[in-house]
């Protein structure tokens, strides 16, 4: 299943990573999942989500993450290489073809 949101406004790549992570948690909850493995290519966001680095985003994002994360029995995070991030590759291709993204 693919989820593409184009209504989130502008922001940094870190903002995009956090919004994608929050959305993944929301999708997991809606599907009734209690144990998730989340893949991402942003070491910074993964370390922040794991609590290994100080959170650097807006407080509303941090509180939303904490609220969603608390509803799972287990969250695991795995960093992948950017070349393995199929979602990021597709989004980059879409962005190059569309002035909207």
pLDDT digit of tens for each residue in the chain (101 aa)? Answer: 666 666 666 777 788 889 889 999 999 999 999 999 998 888 999 999 999 999 988 899 999 999 999 999 999 998 877 666 655 655 566 667 765 54
Q: Provide the sign of the torsion angle of the four alpha carbons 68, 66, 2, 12, taken in this order.
A: positive
What are the residue ranges spanned by the domains of the chain? Answer: 13-97
Class of domain 13-97: alpha beta
pLDDT number for residue 80: 78
Q: Give the span between the Cα atoms of 57 and 80, in whole angstroms.
A: 22
pTM: 0.77
Looking at 1-101, list the stretches that DSSP marks H as alpha helix, in order from N- to C-terminal side: 13-30, 43-50, 59-69, 86-97
Tokens of 35: 């144990």
Buried/exposed code over 32-45 (b: 16+ C-beta within 10 A; e: otherwise): eeeebebebbbeeb
């Amino acid at each position: 299943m693919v989820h593409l949101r184009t209504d989130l406004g502008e922001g940094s790549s870190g903002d995009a990573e956090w919004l994608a992570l929050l959305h993944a948690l929301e999708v997991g909850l809606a599907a009734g999942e209690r144990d998730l493995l989340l893949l991402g290519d942003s070491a910074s966001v993964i370390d922040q989500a794991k609590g290994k680095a100080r959170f650097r985003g807006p407080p509303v994002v941090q509180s939303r993450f904490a609220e969603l994360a608390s509803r799972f029995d287990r969250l695991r995070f795995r960093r992948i290489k950017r070349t393995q991030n199929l979602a990021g590759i597709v989004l980059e291709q879409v962005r190059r073809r569309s002035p909207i993204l």
